[in-house]
Structure 1
Amino acid sequence: MKQFEYKVENIQIQLKNDIDFNTLMTERLNLFGEEGWELSGVNGTVFYFKREIL
């Protein structure tokens, strides 16, 4: 049976006038993805991730 570990992150991004929110959020989420984390849920600014334990 597969086993997973979980991570909870409170992600808040402060924007400056010349920076796009979508770009910053995409970059941040991609960093988690590079570490093998998969986004499994969102509640406001709280993001829930999981990854399989190998």
Structure 2
Amino acid sequence: MRQFEYKVEDIQLQLKTGVDFKTAMTQKLNTLGKEGWELSGVNGTIFYFKREIS
């Protein structure tokens, strides 16, 4: 049976001058994706991730 671990992150970005929100959020989500986390839900600034346990 597949098993998962879960991660809850409150993502609030402080934008640097010249960086737009979409770019900053994309970078944050891509970083988590490279660690194996898959976005499974969002509620405001709370993001829920899961990844399969090997």
Tell me the C-alpha RMSD between the 2 structures. 0.9
Q: Could you report, residue by residue, the CA deviation over 1:1-54 in whole angstroms, capped at 9, with x for unpaired residues?
A: 110000000000122441110000000000000000000000000000000001
Higher alpha-carbon deviation: 14-23 or 38-47: 14-23
Are 1:28 and 2:28 counterparts?
A: yes
For structure 1, list consecutive stretches of 5 or more residues without a partner in the other structure: none
The equivalent residue for 1:38 is 38
Q: Runs ≥4 in structure 1, deviation > 6 angstroms?
A: none
Among all aligned residue pairs of Structure 1 and Structure 2, give the percentage whose two residues are the same amino acid: 72
Cα distance in 2 between the residues matched to 1:31 and 1:5: 17
Task: Give the count of matched residue pairs.
Answer: 54
The equivalent residue for 1:50 is 50
Normalised TM-score (structure 1): 0.93
For structure 2, list consecutive stretches of 5 or more residues without a partner in the other structure: none
Cα distance in 1 between the residues matched to 2:41 and 2:52: 16
